[in-house]
Structure 1
Amino acid sequence: MNIEPLSDTKIIDSWYKNALPWTNAVRSGEIESRNLVTNQAIIDTFMSYSPQSVLDLGCGEGWLTRELAVQGMHVIGVDVVPELIEKAQQAGGDFFNVSYEEIQQGKLSISVDAIVCNFSLFGKESVEGLFTTITTLLNPNGLFIVQTLHPLVACGDFSYQDGWREGSWAGFNDDFTDPAPWYFRTLESWVKLFNDNGLRLIEVREPVHPKTQKPASIIFISCNIGVLPGL
C-alpha cells in the first residue's frame, strides 16, 4: 500500500514498526527529557487536581497509566498499536486497542474525571476529530490534560505556521526506523482547538529543561464546562 509520507496514516505505520524499540527505550530510561522533566511534570499535574478516574489516550506501552494507578487513580489506557497494548497488558493494568477514529465513532463507552494525552497528539485529522469527542467522555467538570511539544521550541528554523513536518529519531538508538511525521500547530492553533470544542483552558504549564533552560514541553489543562473542579 502506498502511504502518503506526511499524513496521519504514516504516523500509525511508523509506530507499528517502532513499537518494540519504543517500549525498550521508555522502560530503560533512554529518553533524557522524559527522565529529567516531562514524566514528572505530567504526574505532578495530575497530583495537583487528583481526579479519581482517568482515560490515557495514546498510552503507548502504558507507563503513565500504571504510574497514575499507583497514585490511587482508576486508569484505563488505549492505543491504536496492538503491540504497544500487548506490552502494556503484560506489565499490568487496564488497556484496550482502540483508535482515535473509533473513539470518534462512539466505540469507547466511558465517562471519566480526566482524560490525558501525553505526547500522543501528532496527527492532523485524527487529532481534530478526537477533540470533537472529548467532552462526551468526561464527567461534569472533567479535565482534559495535554502534554505536547512546546510550539516555540519545536518550531526550530521553520516558519511559525501550522503544517506537516518530517519526523526524526535523532538522539534515539539504531533500533528505530522510518520516523513518523507530525503536524505542527502554533500556540494560537492549540488554544483554538480547545475553545472550538467546548473546552476552556484553565491552566498552562511550561516545564523547563534543566540543561537547556528552555521549555521541554507545554501542558494544557482544560475543563469541559470552563469551571475549576470543586468550585
Structure 2
Amino acid sequence: MKLDEQAGAMKRDWDDRAKENAKWYINTVRRDQSDDEFDATGLPEVRNFVLNDPVLNRRGDFGTQRLLEIGCGIGRMTKHLAGHFAEVHGTDVSGEMIEQARIRLGNFGNVHLHETSGVDFQALPSNYFDTIFSVYVFQHVPSVDIIHANIRDAVRVLKPGGLFKFQTCSITAEEYAKMEKDTWTGASFTEEEIRRAARDNGVHLVSFLGLGTQYCWTILQKPEITSENSTSDIKPGIIFYGRSDKPDEKSIPITGDYAFLTIVIDGPEPKTLDANNVILELDGKNHMPCYVGWVGGNFEAALGGADRSDIERLTQINIGIPRGCVSGQSRIRIGLLDGEFSEPFTLDLIAPPPVAPRINLINNAVDGGIDIYSSGEKSVFRVFANAMDETATPETVRVLLGDRELIPESVSFVPANGVHMTLARMPEGSLPGDSTVRLRFHDRLSDPFPLRILRVECGGPAPL
C-alpha cells in the first residue's frame, strides 16, 4: 500500500475513533472518563517523559523553548506541556481529534493545533522547535515507511541543536511479526530502523532504550551549526567505567536488567560523537552502543562532576552486553568508526542473578479498563508482566492478592505487547479498598503493584 493510502486509512480510522470515544482510544483505562480524570493521567507522563528527562533538560530552561507534540490527540498532555514551554504546537492526523482539542484548549494562548497528513508537517516552518516529543503514536502506525517519513520532516522543523524524543513499538517476537499491521497494531521499529533514521537524516543518535518491547524510546539531536572538525584521529582515553545503574559495580551480568556497561571517555570532541559512530570492541568483535552523550546521573556524581572543570569535555557511552557473551574476563576497547581505539581494559562478566517478574499493568477482562470490582463480571482481572518465559503456566505462576494466593485461570504470551498475561478472578468475600498484587513465577516474586478494588452496589458497579 502506498504512503498516501496508508495515511488516508490512518486519518479515517482515527477520525472514527475520535467520534466514537476519543478519551478511551487515547487513554484506555476506562470507557467513561470525565475531563478532569482524563487530563489528570497526562500530568505524570509529562513529568516522567519530558520534564524529568536528563537529556532533554540539557537544552536549558523549558520556559523559553518551543515544543512540538506529534500525535496530540485531544490534548491530554498538551495542556500540561503548555504550562512549562513558551510555545506548544500539537499535531494529529485526525481532524476530529484536533477539533475536539481546540474546544478543550481554547483558553491556552500559547497552544497551536494542526491537522497533518500523517506523513509530514508542511504547515510548520523549518528550524523552529527546540524540542519535539511523541508517545503512544508511532506504535499505531502500520508501516516503518510512515514512521521514517515523520522522522524526516520532524528533523526539518527541529532547530540545530534541538532534541527529538519519540516512542515506538520495537517488539521482535516472531508471533508479533506474523500479525497483520494496521492503524492499531503498528509496525515494529527495530534497532536497525532507528540507526538508519539517524544516518539517513544526518542527525546524531543520542540514545535508544527498550528494544524488543512495546515502549522503545529514541532521542535524536540535530547537529549544531559548527566549525568543529572530525576528531576520529584522536585516541579516546577511558576515564571511568561501571555497571550502568551502579557506577561502583565493576562486574557486569551477561543478561538481564543489569547487563549494561557505562564507559566515560575523554579525547574526541563530544559534539562529534553519537551511537552510530562509536564502537565498543569486546574480545575482538565490534558492537554499537545505545547511548552516547553527556555525562549524567550517577556517573556525573561518581566523577565529582560539580567539582570538575572538564566534565563537558567527557562523553558517556552506554552499551548492553551483547547476546552470546559468557561469564569470565573480557578485553574491552572503545573506538571511533574509521578512527582510533583506546587502550584496552579487562572487564569481569558474571552470570546474571534471577530476574523477578515486573508487573506493568492490571486491568479488567471485560473492556480493558482499570476499574476492577470485588464481584461481578469485572472481578476477573488480567495482570501483564515482563521477565517471564515459555515455562509460565497456571502451574508455575501464582497471583498474590494482598495476603491471599490465587491460582490463575490462564497464563499466555501477548505478542502485540511482548508481555505475559495472567488471568485471575477475585475470590469470594473480597472487600473493596486498596490492595496490592504480586506475581510469583517459580521461586521469583515481583514487587507489589497497587490495586484499588471497587464495590458493586445493587444498581450496578459504583466507585469507592
TM-score of the alignment, normalized to the shorter chain, above 0.5: yes
SS at match of 1:182: coil
Q: Could you tell me how far apart the structure 1 residues matched to 2:17 and 2:97 are?
A: 9
Aligned equivalent of 2:220: 222
Aligned equivalent of 2:57: 48
Aligned equivalent of 1:60: 73
Contact 2:130 2:163 in 1 (8 A): yes
Aligned equivalent of 2:125: 109
Q: Does 1:191 align with 2:195?
A: yes
Q: What is the CA-CA distance between 1:215 and the residue it aligns to?
A: 5.2
Which protein shows a greater Rg? 2
Structure 1 segments unaligned to the other structure (5+ residues): 168-178, 208-213
Specify whether residues 18 and 70 from structure 1 end up closer, same or farther in structure 2 by C-alpha distance, changes over 3 A only. same
Q: Could you tell me how far apart the structure 1 residues matched to 2:179 and 2:71 are?
A: 20
Q: What is the CA-CA distance between 1:82 and the residue it aligns to?
A: 1.1
Q: What is the CA-CA distance between 1:206 and the residue it aligns to?
A: 3.9
Contact 1:80 1:99 in 2 (8 A): yes
Superposition misfits of 4+ residues, deviation over 6 angstroms: none
Contact 1:85 1:95 in 2 (8 A): yes
Q: Percent identity?
A: 19
Q: Could you tell me how far apart the structure 2 residues matched to 1:181 and 1:218 are?
A: 15
Q: What is the CA-CA distance between 1:29 and the residue it aligns to?
A: 4.4
Q: What is the CA-CA distance between 1:198 and the residue it aligns to?
A: 1.6
Q: What is the CA-CA distance between 1:164 and the residue it aligns to?
A: 7.5
Specify whether residues 22 and 40 from structure 1 end up closer, same or farther in structure 2 by C-alpha distance, changes over 3 A only. farther
Aligned equivalent of 1:171: none
Structure 2 segments unaligned to the other structure (5+ residues): 32-40, 106-110, 225-270, 272-292, 295-311, 313-464
Structure with greater strand percent:
2
Aligned length: 201
Which of residues 97, 100, 103 is equivalent to 1:87? 100
Structural mapping, 1:122-137, within 5 Å: 122-124=141-143, 125-137=145-157
Q: What is the CA-CA distance between 1:118 and the residue it aligns to?
A: 1.7
Contact 1:42 1:147 in 2 (8 A): no
Aligned equivalent of 2:108: none
Q: Could you tell me how far apart the structure 2 residues matched to 1:159 and 1:16 are?
A: 26
Q: What is the CA-CA distance between 1:77 and the residue it aligns to?
A: 0.3
Q: Could you tell me how far apart the structure 1 residues matched to 2:57 and 2:214 are?
A: 20
Contact 1:11 1:182 in 2 (8 A): no
Specify whether residues 63 and 73 from structure 1 end up closer, same or farther in structure 2 by C-alpha distance, changes over 3 A only. farther
Aligned residue type for 1:13: R
Q: Could you tell me how far apart the structure 2 residues matched to 1:131 and 1:28 are?
A: 26
Structural mapping, 1:1-231, within 5 Å: 7-21=6-20, 23-25=22-24, 26=26, 29-30=29-30, 40-43=47-50, 44-45=52-53, 48-49=57-58, 51=62, 52-92=65-105, 93-101=111-119, 103=121, 106-109=122-125, 111-121=128-138, 122-124=141-143, 125-149=145-169, 151=170, 154-158=171-175, 165-167=180-182, 180-206=184-210, 217-225=215-223, 227=271
SS at match of 1:133: helix
Q: What is the CA-CA distance between 1:40 and the residue it aligns to?
A: 5.0
Aligned equivalent of 2:396: none
Specify whether residues 102 and 8 from structure 1 end up closer, same or farther in structure 2 by C-alpha distance, changes over 3 A only. closer
Contact 1:200 1:225 in 2 (8 A): yes
Q: What is the CA-CA distance between 1:54 and the residue it aligns to?
A: 0.4
SS at match of 1:219: strand
Specify whether residues 47 and 68 from structure 1 end up closer, same or farther in structure 2 by C-alpha distance, changes over 3 A only. farther
Specify whether residues 215 and 70 from structure 1 end up closer, same or farther in structure 2 by C-alpha distance, changes over 3 A only. farther
Relative contact order, CA 8 A, sep 6+: which one is greater?
Answer: 1
Specify whether residues 22 and 118 from structure 1 end up closer, same or farther in structure 2 by C-alpha distance, changes over 3 A only. farther
Specify whether residues 206 and 73 from structure 1 end up closer, same or farther in structure 2 by C-alpha distance, changes over 3 A only. farther
Contact 2:94 2:115 in 1 (8 A): yes
TM-score (norm 2): 0.37
Q: What is the CA-CA distance between 1:14 and the residue it aligns to?
A: 1.6
Q: Could you tell me how far apart the structure 1 residues matched to 2:196 and 2:179 are?
A: 18
TM-score (norm 1): 0.69
Q: Could you tell me how far apart the structure 2 residues matched to 1:88 and 1:66 are?
A: 10
SS at match of 2:166: strand
